[in-house]
Structure 1
Amino acid sequence: MSNTPVPPHGQSSLHAVQVLGGGSSGSGVHVRSLSAGLVARGLRVTVCGPWSAEQGYGFTQAGAGFTGLDALTDAGSVASLRAATAGAALVHAHGLRPGLLAAVALRGRNVPLIVTWHTRVDVEGARAGLVRLMERRVARTAAIVLGASSDLVDRARARGARDARLALVAVPAPRRAPETGDGRRQKVRAELGVLDRPLLVTAGRLDAAAGFGPLLDAARRWRGLEPRPLLVVAGEGPDRAVLERRIAMEGLPVRLLGRRDDVPQLLSAADVAVLSSRWEARSLLAQEALHAGVPLVATAVGGVPELVGDAAELVPYGDPEALAGAVTGLLADPVRRAGLAAAGRARTAGWPTEDDTVAHVLSVYDELVQTILSERVDGPGR
């Protein structure tokens, strides 16, 4: 484990500022876990982000300070961030927009910036050019870019990052439900009305990037099975009305559950979990499925293959026939399902823990702080 950066005698503990946007739940969970670990190791941590993030993740409950970035303009957010980072030893931004705000706020200051790319921004047309410019600015300004998957590391290097590395990003181990085992499983299945039917579970924001269009195409192919599987979808988003119309018009065995905070419990009752995304770095659904020992069918995109290895059935994105075939094949093969469940649990044992993640980040912080101290003593360029 790396040594925690230690301040000179008589000075206060090292102050690390975490900058968070209003994006994915994965980055929010990561920053909450990271903040708690850093505080426990003696660092002073301030999280800057929207107040909704503080309400959702409770950074102050983890011992961190919090500064809201809810200004109506980017200029207002930059001003708040510049004030919050005064005297900070380093700033660690999570995501593209937070990284850009931090880069602007730190202009003219000799404060190292670390940026973790948890995901990528997929847009088309003129906005794609703007995103490339943002990525280039952030990648070239940051002292170090950490990517949650290998393809994000490659992307940062292509945008001009001086130093891009693979991040260790752990998801806290799922909490046990008050009721476990077959009793809990049967209760959840009864609530969904699938005591005698296969249950398929997926979760995500209801938008194009989640791949629910191809997933409904696949559902059309397995609706003739007997008994007919039910696919439940946990999540909300702008495409809900479109998906509802398709489900009703085509008579698909699919139910949209809306926003849920019990996805691990849903997975514990599932026969198969399905991830149909166009791209993922370290999919939270995939991690929760493997932790729960649920067979997973997933698209072979982004960081998914390196995350799950051979502990899931992987299919090409946008191929409903392959997706439907993988699901029906698993439903017909209990031995293969049991094998994948065991492989999934074994795979999770090799994933980084929260302590591993904190130790890795501390080693990065220590490296940067020592570089700054060396430059102050010896002068830059030596």
Structure 2
Amino acid sequence: MTERVRVAIVLSTSSGGIGRHVRSLVDRLEARGVEPHVVAPAVTGENFGFTAPASGSAPVHTPVRFSAVEILTRPRPRHDMRAVRALRRLLRDADVVHAHGFRAAALAGLALGRRRAGRTPLVATWHNAVLGSPPRRALLVGLERLAARRADVTLGASADLVERAAALGADDARLAPVAAPAMPPPSRSRAEMRAELGAADRPVVLAVGRLAPQKDYETLLAAVARWATRERQPLVVVAGDGPEMDRLRRDADNARIDVRFLGHRDDVPELLNAADVYVITSRWEARALVVQEAMRAGVPVVATAVGGLPELVGEDALLVPAADPGAVAAAVTRLLDDPGLRTELAERARLRSRQWPDEDGTADQLVRIYRELATQPSP
């Protein structure tokens, strides 16, 4: 019988794709001979069901050992050192540590110490690029470098992240695409969902994601203003919440454009079923989970040519430059005016999505790495 491997999985505050990915992974590890121990902020544990369910309620996911450590997404030196001390204690009994995000990887690296013989191996998955102002990027590059050099294996969710980690000193950097969790089938028909949205006979353009600077919804709003004179204007629907919600609503009102901000939604399969086009205007993405979901559902995609999106969609979506409202507007209206192209891209998207690794394939890749490291001494 294969010996079981104890893996401590460390992540910082998450409300989106990273947490969903880790939840999917954890649910598959026990059957593969891995005992997971999730270490994350309490709110992340609650968001993704890592903490115990309420008394009397049935667990939704596989039960998992969980320890709360407040690892924040922004550097706070005193707070971070408390987290490092907590990690040092909690990671002692792990055969392998797997940190998600370079912040979690840097703090786990500090807790474990420099790479040396006998040190617990560290796997680090990089899910995001460092964005923002030059001062912010300069502040965080030190943490990126620390994360790269302390990890035994660095996994990048997209090729540009692998290249970045290698440039910062990662000894073993590999591509590890993150698969979007499988979606349930829609529980309401396309007609029912469109009626709820008030679409009537208007085409529906959908965007899903956190309302934060990286997603660059300003470009989407500017694109919407460019098709305001169309005889049959599309209904633009944005699902998600975040710090820019109020400002974006004000901007849309001031521009007198029809954009519906729905807030957080748990019915993305129904929204995709109602959509004619999916659009993402991000400044950077790795392998955006919702783009994977849209293409699996056969919704034609307009996406910015940034990060890992070109390698994800290939020629089976319309790619546009970042921060270019004119290009976004032209691509969306091209699809709306050409039903044949929409049908073609929908079918090509479904076919392409079948070639992507699924959740089981992602888990299998990681378990192979865990076993590889657990049986080999660190240098």
| TM-score normalized by the length of structure 1 | 0.91
User: 1:44 pairs with 35, 43, 52, which one?
Assistant: 35
Counterpart position of 1:59: 50
Counterpart position of 1:70: 70
Distance 1:168 1:327 in 2: 27
Distance 2:163 2:15 in 1: 21
Counterpart position of 2:288: 283
- Gap runs ≥5 in structure 2: 52-60, 72-77
Distance 1:225 1:187 in 2: 25
Distance 2:244 2:24 in 1: 31
- Alpha-carbon contact 1:275-1:285 (below 8 Å) kept: no
Counterpart position of 1:131: 140
Counterpart amino acid of 2:23? R
Distance 1:65 1:149 in 2: 29
Counterpart amino acid of 2:318? E
**Secondary structure of the corresponding residue to residue 87 of structure 2:** helix
- Alpha-carbon contact 1:168-1:360 (below 8 Å) kept: no
Distance 2:160 2:134 in 1: 22
Counterpart position of 2:339: 334
Distance 2:321 2:187 in 1: 37
User: 1:113 pairs with 122, 144, 152, which one?
Assistant: 122
Give the drift of 1:307. 0.6
Counterpart amino acid of 2:232? P
- Gap runs ≥5 in structure 1: 8-12
Comparing 254-263 with 143-152, which one deviates more in the overlay? 254-263
Distance 1:123 1:250 in 2: 26
**Secondary structure of the corresponding residue to residue 371 of structure 1:** coil
Distance 1:171 1:358 in 2: 12
User: 2:181 pairs with 172, 192, 195, which one?
Assistant: 172
Query: For 1:281-331, what per-residue CA distance to the aligned partner results, in whole angstroms no more than 9, with x for missing partners?
Result: 011221111011101111011000111112211111111111100000100
**Secondary structure of the corresponding residue to residue 279 of structure 2:** strand
Counterpart position of 1:357: 362
Counterpart position of 2:55: none
Distance 2:136 2:312 in 1: 30
**Secondary structure of the corresponding residue to residue 375 of structure 2:** helix
Counterpart position of 1:304: 309
User: 2:241 pairs with 215, 236, 242, which one?
Assistant: 236
Counterpart position of 1:262: 267
User: 2:162 pairs with 131, 141, 153, which one?
Assistant: 153
Q: Aligned residues, how many?
A: 361
Distance 1:87 1:251 in 2: 58
Distance 1:335 1:125 in 2: 44
Identical columns (%): 47
Counterpart position of 1:10: none
Query: For 1:259-289, what per-residue CA distance to the aligned partner results, in whole angstroms no more than 9, with x for missing partners?
Result: 1121221111001010110000011221111
Give the drift of 1:24. 5.3
User: 2:16 pairs with 25, 38, 41, which one?
Assistant: 25
| TM-score normalized by the length of structure 2 | 0.91
Give the drift of 1:241. 2.4
Comparing 135-144 with 353-362, which one deviates more in the overlay? 353-362
Counterpart amino acid of 2:16? S
Counterpart position of 1:142: 151
Counterpart position of 2:225: 220
- Alpha-carbon contact 2:8-2:39 (below 8 Å) kept: yes
Counterpart position of 1:35: 26
